[in-house]
């Protein structure tokens, strides 16, 4: 097949070929035979196709669009909002967050409260220094001595 026919084969099979291509087909018998074979093949393919495509029933497209709109977007929030299991998980999570928040706030307040001088301390304090090596002071009996013990410890720490 010659170049002029190859470049315009689609137009030729559609029936809208240029005059130059028609002139070439009148002159060239090889190209004319090949185009005739292609036309026969196209006719056979058209015969294999269904005679007519069935038309959908009236309102088909409207029903499809209604179904699409009814489904709505799928997201993780729909899982929690629409199912009982999801609602239970959401409520349990909120309750856990509330309990943790109350615990953290209450533990911070307890840590911020100072120990008053009249309150008993948890353990006796051991004082190390030059004046009192290894002397044990009971903070519960003498609050003044506990202050002295802290100062002695600070001084000896700085000296080292």
Specify the higher pLDDT residue, 26 or 114.
26
pLDDT for position 6:
83
Q: In the structure, what pLDDT confidence band is assigned to residue 77 with cuts at 50, 70 and 90?
A: confident
Residue 94 lies in a domain: no
| Residue 3 Cα to chain centre, angstroms | 56
Specify the higher pLDDT residue, 66 or 117.
66
pLDDT for position 138:
47
- Residue 17's CB is within 10 A of a number of other CB atoms, namely 18
pLDDT of 30 over the 70 cut: yes
Residue 140 three-state SS: coil
Residue 25 lies in a domain: yes
Q: What is the number of alpha carbons within 13 Å of residue 112 lying toward its C-beta?
A: 6
136 — alpha (psi -120 to 50), left (phi > 0) or beta? Answer: beta
Contact 18, 8 (CB under 8 A): yes
Share of the chain above pLDDT 90, in %: 9
pLDDT for position 94:
94
Question: Residue 76 forms beta bridges with which residues?
Answer: none
Residue 146 lies in a domain: yes
Residue 98 lies in a domain: no
Residue 96 lies in a domain: no
Mean pLDDT of the chain: 75
Residue 88 lies in a domain: no
**Residue 8: in which H helix or E strand, if any?**
none
- Number of domains within the chain: 2
Nearest to 126 by CA among 137, 117, 116, 118: 137
- Residue 12's CB is within 10 A of a number of other CB atoms, namely 20
Residue 11 lies in a domain: yes
pLDDT digits (tens, 9 = 90+) for 107-126: 876 665 555 555 554 455 55
Question: What is the distance between the alpha carbons of residues 146 and 156, in angstroms, rounded to a whole number?
Answer: 15
Q: In the structure, what pLDDT confidence band is assigned to residue 18 with cuts at 50, 70 and 90?
A: confident
pLDDT digits (tens, 9 = 90+) for 136-147: 444 445 556 667
User: Which parts of the chain are beta strand (E)?
Assistant: 125-127, 135-137
**100 φ, ψ to 5°?**
-65, -40
Look up the domain containing 10 and give its range: 3-48
Residue 44 lies in a domain: yes
Question: What is the distance between the alpha carbons of residues 138 and 129, in angstroms, rounded to a whole number?
Answer: 17
pLDDT for position 139:
46
Specify the higher pLDDT residue, 71 or 37.
37
């Amino acid at each position: 097949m010659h170049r002029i026919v190859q470049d315009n084969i689609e137009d030729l099979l559609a029936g809208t070929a240029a005059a130059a291509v028609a002139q070439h087909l009148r002159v060239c018998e090889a190209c004319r035979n090949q185009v005739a074979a292609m036309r026969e093949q196209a006719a056979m393919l058209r015969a294999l196709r269904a005679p007519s495509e069935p038309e959908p029933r009236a309102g088909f497209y409207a029903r499809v669009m209604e179904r699409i709109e009814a489904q709505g977007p799928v997201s993780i929030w729909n899982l929690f909002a629409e199912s009982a299991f999801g609602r239970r998980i959401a409520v349990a999570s909120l309750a856990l967050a509330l309990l943790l928040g109350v615990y953290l706030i209450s533990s911070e307040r307890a840590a911020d409260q100072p120990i008053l001088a009249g309150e008993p301390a948890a353990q006796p304090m051991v004082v190390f220094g030059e004046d009192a090596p290894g002397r044990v002071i009971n903070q519960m009996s003498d609050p003044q001595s506990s202050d002295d013990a802290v100062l002695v410890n600070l001084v000896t720490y700085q000296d080292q």
